[in-house]
């Protein structure tokens, strides 16, 4: 049985394959199945967009599909950038990692310490090949926006250079976290752990 992981982000794909390594399902990427088109994200929530993407690629590939949507939410900015996390700077097109990092600190310039809380939020959607929604799950990791970004960068994950976790006194970035810290705090891992029971049931043929 194959599961299409609907992402073009190599870092995200690597994480998903790692955290689902124990599930007896073959994981394939959009590149593996020759899909290159993008989905217009017309939803008003992360969940709606995750389902939209999953259903689109399931229909196109004929495979059960796992898709996600998520972004950065800054409390003092009313939850911005939220669903426009990748288009925050230009609006009509995706911004580069460095543009997003610079823009975040520009927007936070006059926000005092103690009011710089923020979070990364993620929704996973699993749909069958016919588009039927099997499950959606949500996870988040909270921290603060410090006065400056991390010097480390994880390509495709700009907000990990912005979100600082006071509990571990580090940025939420795999380049600076220990393996143990990454395992404990990774919100994608927690979301995938919640999705695993559905995948295992499908793999066993029980649902």
Q: How confident is the model at residue 207 (pLDDT cuts 50, 70, 90)?
A: low
At 119, list the tokens: 């979070």
Per the annotation, the verdict on 68 as an active-site residue is: no
Catalytic residue among 37, 68, 69, 75: 69
N- to C-terminal Cα separation, the chain: 14
At 174, list the tokens: 């795999």
Q: Could you tell me the domains of the chain? A: 2-204 (3.90.950.10)
Q: Report how far residue 50's alpha carbon sits from residue 64's, in angstroms, rounded to the nearest whole number.
A: 14
**pLDDT, mean of residues 81-98:** 89
* Cβ atoms of 116 and 147 closer than 8 Å: no
Q: How confident is the model at residue 206 (pLDDT cuts 50, 70, 90)?
A: low
169 φ/ψ angles, rounded to the nearest 5 degrees: 60, 40
Q: How confident is the model at residue 15 (pLDDT cuts 50, 70, 90)?
A: confident
Q: Label the pairing between strands 26-29 and 2-5.
A: parallel
Q: Is the pLDDT of residue 112 over 90?
A: yes
Q: Report how far residue 71's alpha carbon sits from residue 129's, in angstroms, rounded to the nearest whole number.
A: 26
Measured CA to CA in angstroms, residue 40 lies from 9, 31, 37, 48, 53 at distances of 17, 18, 10, 12, 8
Q: What is the pLDDT of residues 116-170, one digit of tens each?
A: 999 999 999 999 999 999 999 999 999 999 999 999 888 888 999 999 999 999 9
* Cβ atoms of 120 and 146 closer than 8 Å: no
Q: What is the DSSP letter of 14?
A: H
* Cβ atoms of 4 and 54 closer than 8 Å: no
């Amino acid at each position: 049985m194959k599961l299409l992981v609907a992402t073009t982000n190599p870092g995200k794909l690597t994480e998903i394959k790692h955290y689902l390594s124990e599930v007896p399902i073959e994981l394939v990427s959009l590149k593996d199945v020759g899909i290159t088109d993008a989905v217009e994200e017309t939803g008003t929530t992360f969940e709606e967009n995750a389902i939209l993407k999953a259903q689109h690629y399931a229909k196109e590939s004929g495979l059960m599909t796992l898709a996600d949507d998520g972004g950065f939410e800054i409390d003092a900015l009313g939850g911005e950038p939220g669903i426009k996390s990748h288009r925050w700077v230009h609006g009509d097109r995706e911004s580069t990692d460095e543009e997003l990092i610079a823009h975040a600190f520009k927007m936070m310039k006059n926000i005092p310490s103690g009011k710089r809380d923020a979070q990364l939020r993620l929704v996973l959607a699993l749909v069958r090949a016919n588009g039927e929604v099997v499950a959606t799950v949500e996870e988040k990791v909270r921290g603060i926006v410090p006065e400056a970004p991390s010097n480390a960068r994880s390509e495709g994950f700009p907000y990990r250079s912005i979100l600082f976790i006071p509990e571990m006194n580090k940025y939420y970035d795999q380049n600076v976290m220990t393996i143990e810290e990454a395992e404990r705090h990774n919100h994608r891992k927690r979301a995938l752990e919640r999705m695993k029971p559905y995948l295992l049931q499908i793999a066993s043929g029980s649902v």
